[in-house]
A and B are shown apart, each in its own frame.
Chain A
Amino acid sequence: KQEVTQIPAALSVPEGENLVLNCSFTDSAIYNLQWFRQDPGKGLTSLLLIQSSQREQTSGRLNASLDKSSGRSTLYIAASQPGDSATYLCAVMTTDSWGKFQFGAGTQVVVTP
């Protein structure tokens, strides 16, 4: 069974620093990996989707990398802002469970002014 881990569970950085969020998974036979943002009391918003054939995806200040062989993905957020404070979750779709996502528990990020 696919297991998805996000470490650390919480992270606090001063404004302007770059954020590095980690996601690891146990089964490398993945279809894709997706990063989500969750604000308190709200649903999840998709940030980036990486297909298994891709090594990275970029959107503005966000960059996500994928290394299937080592079972890792990293989300980089450049020049963090207080508005980046949220919980970030990664989710993996494995090839034998198409359509079903396995989620990590998330990393709670606080960016201090």
Chain B
Amino acid sequence: NAGVTQTPKFQVLKTGQSMTLQCAQDMNHEYMSWYRQDPGMGLRLIHYSVGAGITDQGEVPNGYNVSRSTTEDFPLRLLSAAPSQTSVYFCASRSGDTQYFGPGTRLTVL
């Protein structure tokens, strides 16, 4: 049981490039979410999904896309990276009231 896994661990992009952050969970959780964490700020919700085929926006969705084709996977796409998207990104899945977090992806946009 690997829990929540994220790839890559680190990524450097140039402004305007696109990329996909991968997230997978093997706990059969319906609810999954993406957060970003910036210095001095709490985690902020980007997008979330309550099941395969269903996604919705969180607090800071601009510049990000998501899709949920399977229960296990919830990728986050940056369409055209900007320096303001430099952050640490966390994926989480939830069972009841308990959230399980992945180890994070540290993204730098130059």
What is A's interface to B at a CB cutoff of 8 Å?
A: 4, 9, 31-32, 34, 36, 41-46, 49, 51, 89, 91, 93, 99-106
Max chain B Cβ within 10 angstroms of own Cβ: one of A4, A45, A51, A101: A101
Majority secondary structure of chain A interface residues (helix, strand, loop or mixed): strand
Is B109 in contact with chain A by the CB < 8 A criterion?
no
Complex interface: chain B residues within 8 A of A91 (CB):
42-43
Majority secondary structure of chain B interface residues (helix, strand, loop or mixed): strand
Task: Take A89-B43, A100-B45, A103-B42 as given contacts and tell me if A42 and B103 are in contact as well, using a CB distance cutoff of 8 Å.
Answer: yes
Complex interface: chain B residues within 8 A of A34 (CB):
97-99
Q: In whole angstroms, what is the CA distance A55 to B31 when docked?
A: 27
Contact, CB under 8 Å: B101 / A43:
yes
Contact, CB under 8 Å: A46 / B94:
no
Contact, CB under 8 Å: B42 / A43:
no
Q: In whole angstroms, what is the CA distance A93 to B97 when docked?
A: 9
Complex interface: chain B residues within 8 A of A49 (CB):
97-98
Contact, CB under 8 Å: B42 / A106:
yes
A60 → B minimal CB distance (Å): 17
Contact, CB under 8 Å: B103 / A101:
no
Annotate B67-110 by CB proximity to A: 1 below 8 A, 0 otherwise: 00000000000000000000000101010011111111000000
Complex interface: chain A residues within 8 A of B53 (CB):
none
A96 → B minimal CB distance (Å): 14
Contact, CB under 8 Å: A101 / B44:
no
A107 → B minimal CB distance (Å): 11
Q: In whole angstroms, what is the CA distance A104 to B35 when docked?
A: 13
